[in-house]
Amino acid sequence: MSLIYRFEIYPDIHHLEGSATREKSLKDWIAQYENREIKNIWEIKYFQIEAEQPIANILTIAREVFTDSVVEVMISSLELEQSSQIDLWLEKKNFQKPCLIDISFRPGVTDNSALASLEALHCIPELKTISMKVSSGMMIYIESTHPMISLQLEGLAYEKFANKLLHKVTITTHSELSHKKRLQNLTFPAVSIIAEKAKVINLDVEISQLEKMNNDNCWALSLDEIQFIQSYYKKLSRSPTDVEMEVIAQSWSEHCKHKIFSSEITYSESQLPPGVKSIGEFTVKGIFKNFIRGATLKIQEERKIPWLISIFHDNAGIVRFDDVLDICIKVETHNSPSALDPYGGALTGILGVNRDILGVGLGAKPIANTNVFCLAENQYFEENKISIPLLLKNPDRIKEGVHLGVQDGGNKSGIPTVNGAFVFDRDFVGKPLVFCGTVGVIPQVENGKVTHEKGQRPGDLIVMAGGRIGKDGIHGATFSSMELVDGVPTSVVQIGDPITQKRLGDFLIEARTLGLFNSVTDNGAGGLSSSVGEMSQLTNGAHVDLEKALIKYPGLSPFELMVSESQERMTFSVAPKKIKLFLDLAHKRSVEASVIGEFNNSGFLSIFYEGESVGNIDLHFLHESLLPMKLKSHFDPTHMAPHWIKQTIKKPRLPLKAQKFDLEKILLELFRSPNIRSHENYIRRYDHEVKAATIVKPFTGTKEVGFSAPSDAGVIWMKPHGGGADNSIAIACGLCPKVSKFDTYLMAEYAVDEAVRNAICVGANPDEMVLVDNYCWPDPISSARNPDAEYKLAQLVRASKALYDISLDYGMPFVSGKDSMKNDFIGINEFQETIKISVPPTLLVTALGRVPSISMIRTSEIKKESELLYLIGENLIQFQSAFELGELYEDYQVQYPLPQLNPKSQIEIYRKIHLALKDKLIESSHDISDGGLLLALAEKMMGTTLGIKISIDLPEKEWINFLFNESAGRILVTVNPKNQKAFEQILHGAPLMLLGETTSSGHLVVKSNRVEILNVSGVVCMKNYKCQVGEI
């Protein structure tokens, strides 16, 4: 009979007000989203210990471990008489009739607080050998102005504090609330599941039965694929085991295999709007092979680039932009998990991409993170009275969750988040896009070996290290290749454990330095089936004993052990003679590791469980046999499916003042719009300078204005990482999903150029720059539920062709990339109609470039008065491409033709700018993107107390075009007058316009034909830009 102790941690009587800010923000949240007035709310953390026998001295120990004696006191199940204290405190906090919400973890869900507490308890000498379990939870005392019934409290708990997939919520209403009673009736979350034996799957059945099995087992295979497996096993004269079917399904999932990017696609087009580029009719045998890798190989050959070290075949791309270090980069998405559990999804997203870096070559060290969120905002739906479909989470809750996930993932791992973006669109309400990127470094040579090559050999032991295996994350890879519908199995959700991963990462680097392993890869999607499956390709075989893998709790079936995506695990290949050193070091570093098998050259992935064979898969069949799909695409913009929102959205008209456009009002309105306004309150919760190497941070400007102006790119110094003392790298991103509905070819060009342009602005060399592509697309495969798939596939082809064209013209290779192809939600709206919400086709481009000397790094804000202000780029007056104005005003529509980019001449402009930066002829540089020229000017100014005056001399009808049009390729710079001649000489041949100069006024003044048409202060611009920031 086991014992349960419970310890609740309360602030002491003098510090009851310590959490006042948190309580106020909770009240505000509930008032805003639940329309309910809360009188009092109070969060209290608790811990429970389950032990076989009574633990001596437990009260003193628990008090030392769980409380901070200066400000906290503990109420425990061992001192029931003390519990009356709680009522006293509640009274002090003005509660009259509190109810209690108790939130604990469901059995088997990763509970980081509990794991850490267990370690803490084990620090105490007398507890070192005592076996016990710990759980943690949260109690919320709550009292609303109008009493709430249990069901309402439970609803609120799941809305704000808990997730049905992860937490158990227990409600105690005021009339039932007795502290003594609840401290006497304790339960401890326990997993009780029974392992199933591996079984044989009979595929010799009707098609309908095959399809049912496919659905029931979450294989997410196509009928063609199942029939292919069926005939393969027929030839072998046997049936597959469940383990084999799971391994095949994981390996062939869209997530792992990228079937759409490998398929043969025919493309045709019709009804092209004016200015939309025709790309002809053709068949492409693999978008990835031809357009992405194709471009890279061609560039590598044409430019004879020596710095592409490892591309496309490993977990991340590796380039040589330093004399000592190699630099690697990877960007991933974690959309579906983030839709289900925003916090856990984003946290495992960032930790997952960190592991990609840890698992590249012989293991690189992560030095910087990036993150881009594409989200919806609740405000939009509220203002326009649109109901969010059932089952979907409040988009603001998603925002809070994914943000906290990235924050915890990056901060706790000690990796600075140096660059990113927030992009908002109502169509991200169905699936949020969560992009997480990581840059890492690795010494070029170590222990006499090049580090970018993996070296697993037959005879090496397979070691799984880091986290243990549980049910979490089973079917993650197949799930992310499915649409999000109701009834998802809870196991697809995972919670990350940053401390376990941090130890694993530190250990990995130490073991690498000591030369203790030959190869490593991460356990991401597909778990062991993917990691061992991929690694065994190089040796051509592996033997796995599944029962040797460390598990979180008993009861896991063999197939679950094989495909579980429990986090923080990496698979190593260790030579037998080094295994002792390897395991000893792991133990010393508190990293759990177990030998689970051996690599061989049998040609098979042989899987055993307790001595019995549960799967034996021909590696050739697993990795090489799948034939590409054949798909058809047709680009005809008139064939778009109707939008899920039917109603027209009311917008105001462009504001006028004295019969002329009110430029100030428009500018400030732009500053407040979701895609432009500051998210500093979110971004400053990321640590962006741990490791002391971030030269250009997310914000810049002077101290007087709080360093609050936006930067264009992040710049990381190589010296602190052991690289060149004068060397640094720039990381920038670009994405423009708003352009997709006009033309995805242009969208892709804009995305590439935006990333490149941002990197150029801070000083990166255009001739030492690489790109990473991340596609997030709506489902482009035809089905009854997807009538406009051919159009979406054509959009994909066009975007990919654009990537090919522009990367060749820019001479910038792609070194890594990823695609996520099913970003749709199918659900029911308020009228009980089935609706589908697809994300706008989104392409994130990340640029990584070398800044050859740190002294040439420039930031966006103007630096001094009386400097010359130039526009490098076209004036665009003949276009109507102010996308952001189109979002804001009823009487403004973006129209074809849209401004085109000329990549061949654009790259020459960038080379010239880079030369000018090198010669120190530019004082500040800032890219023009969302909102157009006027907004970029204001941004340059408001980071300082200085001002800007420009003259435009245009008729009023062209003001809007000139000041607000958006396109690509344009940059604003300031130049010291003494350098004017040299600067203009270098820029000769580029479109260049001297707009005006900087002043000391603190105002942005625009004159047209000597009449002042705008005079706005930097303070006012900043105030509007930071309209939702509040206190940092």
Report the site for other proteins in 698-757 (rule: CB under 8 A).
699-703, 706-707, 717, 720-721
Stretch that binds other proteins, among 90-98, 113-121, 533-541, 988-996 (CB under 8 A): 113-121
Stretch that binds other proteins, among 222-230, 412-420, 429-437, 805-813 (CB under 8 A): 412-420
Q: How far is the CB of 866 from other proteins (least distance, A)?
A: 15
Q: How far is the CB of 936 from other proteins (least distance, A)?
A: 16
Q: How far apart are CA 104 and CA 943, in angstroms?
A: 46
Q: Does 369 bind other proteins (CB under 8 A)?
A: no
Q: Is the dihedral of CA 338, 343, 346, 348 positive or negative?
A: negative
Cβ neighbourhood burial of 990 (10 Å; 0-12, 13-18, 19+): buried
Q: How far apart are CA 1021 and CA 1029, in angstroms?
A: 14
Dihedral angle at the C-alpha atoms of 384, 388, 393, 399, nearest 10 degrees?
Answer: -30
Q: Interface residues for other proteins in 142-161 (CB under 8 A)? A: none
Give the start-end residues of each E strand in 381-499: 417-424, 433-443, 445-446, 449-450, 461-466
Task: Give the pairing of strands 317-319 and 308-310.
Answer: antiparallel
Tokens representing 990 are 């580029």
Are 96 and 143 a contacting pair, CB within 8 Å? yes
∠ CA(39), CA(42), CA(47), 5° rounding?
160
Q: Interface residues for other proteins in 264-283 (CB under 8 A)? A: none
∠ CA(748), CA(807), CA(711), 5° rounding?
65
Q: Does 60 bind other proteins (CB under 8 A)?
A: no
Q: Interface residues for other proteins in 190-229 (CB under 8 A)? A: none
Stretch that binds other proteins, among 275-283, 407-415, 953-961, 964-972 (CB under 8 A): 407-415
Whose Cβ is closer to other proteins: residue 252's or residue 717's?
Answer: 717
Are 7 and 46 a contacting pair, CB within 8 Å? yes
Q: Does 371 bind other proteins (CB under 8 A)?
A: no
**Binding-site member from 355, 454, 569, 697 for other proteins (CB under 8 A):** 697
The 3 state secondary structure assigned to 739-765 is HCCCCHHHHHHHHHHHHHHHHHHHCCC
Q: Does 636 bind other proteins (CB under 8 A)?
A: no
Site string for other proteins, 16-45 (x = CB under 8 A): --xx-xx--x--------------------
Collapsing DSSP to helix, strand or coil, 1004 comes out as strand
Q: Does 861 bind other proteins (CB under 8 A)?
A: yes
Stretch that binds other proteins, among 248-256, 497-505, 561-569, 869-877 (CB under 8 A): 497-505
Q: How far is the CB of 319 from other proteins (least distance, A)?
A: 22
Q: Does 138 bind other proteins (CB under 8 A)?
A: no
Q: Does 813 bind other proteins (CB under 8 A)?
A: no
Site string for other proteins, 503-532 (x = CB under 8 A): x--x--------------------------
Q: How far is the CB of 714 from other proteins (least distance, A)?
A: 13
DSSP string, 925-958: EEE--TT-HHHHHHHHHHTSS-EEEEE----HHH
**Binding-site member from 614, 857, 938, 950 for other proteins (CB under 8 A):** 857
**Binding-site member from 1, 35, 70, 313 for other proteins (CB under 8 A):** 70
**Binding-site member from 341, 497, 598, 749 for other proteins (CB under 8 A):** 497
**Binding-site member from 76, 251, 369, 411 for other proteins (CB under 8 A):** 411
Q: Interface residues for other proteins in 932-951 (CB under 8 A)? A: 944
Stretch that binds other proteins, among 122-130, 420-428, 616-624, 648-656 (CB under 8 A): 122-130
Are 879 and 801 a contacting pair, CB within 8 Å? no
Q: Does 234 bind other proteins (CB under 8 A)?
A: no
Stretch that binds other proteins, among 212-220, 772-780, 841-849, 852-860 (CB under 8 A): 852-860
Q: Does 124 bind other proteins (CB under 8 A)?
A: yes
Q: Given its phi and psi angles, is residue 692 left (phi above 0), alpha (psi -120 to 50 degrees) or beta? A: left
Whose Cβ is closer to other proteins: residue 412's or residue 454's?
Answer: 412
**Binding-site member from 193, 690, 835, 992 for other proteins (CB under 8 A):** 690
Are 997 and 949 a contacting pair, CB within 8 Å? yes
Q: Does 113 bind other proteins (CB under 8 A)?
A: yes
Q: Does 119 bind other proteins (CB under 8 A)?
A: yes
Q: Does 687 bind other proteins (CB under 8 A)?
A: yes
- The DSSP H or E segment spanning 587 is helix 579-588
The 3 state secondary structure assigned to 428-461 is HHCCCEEEEEEEEEEECEECCEECCCCCCCCCCE
Q: How far apart are CA 759 and CA 764, in angstroms?
A: 5
Q: Interface residues for other proteins in 419-448 (CB under 8 A)? A: none
CB atoms < 10 A from the CB of 726, how many?
14
Q: How far apart are CA 741 and CA 791, in angstroms?
A: 11
CB atoms < 10 A from the CB of 9, how many?
19
Whose Cβ is closer to other proteins: residue 169's or residue 922's?
Answer: 922
Q: How far is the CB of 718 from other proteins (least distance, A)?
A: 12
**Binding-site member from 16, 191, 854, 994 for other proteins (CB under 8 A):** 854
Tokens representing 729 are 């790298």
Q: Does 502 bind other proteins (CB under 8 A)?
A: yes
Q: Which of 572, 579, 584, 583 is nearest to 542 (CA)?
A: 572
Q: How far apart are CA 952 and CA 593, in angstroms?
A: 67
**Binding-site member from 278, 590, 866, 1009 for other proteins (CB under 8 A):** 590
Q: How far is the CB of 871 from other proteins (least distance, A)?
A: 20
Stretch that binds other proteins, among 11-19, 98-106, 289-297, 777-785 (CB under 8 A): 11-19
Site string for other proteins, 905-924 (x = CB under 8 A): -------------------x
Q: How far is the CB of 881 from other proteins (least distance, A)?
A: 30
Q: Does 859 bind other proteins (CB under 8 A)?
A: yes
Q: What are phi and psi of 190, to 5 degrees?
A: -135, 140
Q: How far is the CB of 14 from other proteins (least distance, A)?
A: 5
Whose Cβ is closer to other proteins: residue 508's or residue 901's?
Answer: 508
**Binding-site member from 120, 297, 514, 550 for other proteins (CB under 8 A):** 120
Q: Does 954 bind other proteins (CB under 8 A)?
A: no
Whose Cβ is closer to other proteins: residue 714's or residue 817's?
Answer: 714
Collapsing DSSP to helix, strand or coil, 333 comes out as strand
Whose Cβ is closer to other proteins: residue 73's or residue 735's?
Answer: 73
CB atoms < 10 A from the CB of 771, how many?
30
Stretch that binds other proteins, among 88-96, 254-262, 686-694, 875-883 (CB under 8 A): 686-694
Applying CB under 8 A, the site for other proteins has a residue count of: 74
**Binding-site member from 123, 200, 627, 1019 for other proteins (CB under 8 A):** 123
Q: Which amino acid appears at position 282 of this protein?
A: F
**Binding-site member from 684, 911, 918, 1023 for other proteins (CB under 8 A):** 684
Are 491 and 343 a contacting pair, CB within 8 Å? no
Q: How far is the CB of 11 from other proteins (least distance, A)?
A: 9
Are 597 and 529 a contacting pair, CB within 8 Å? no
Whose Cβ is closer to other proteins: residue 188's or residue 707's?
Answer: 707
Whose Cβ is closer to other proteins: residue 24's or residue 303's?
Answer: 24
Q: Which residues on adjacent β-strands are paired with residue 9? A: 45, 74
Q: Which amino acid appears at position 1025 of this protein?
A: Y
Question: What's the distance, Cα to Cα, between the start and end of the chain in Å?
Answer: 51
- The DSSP H or E segment spanning 39 is strand 38-51
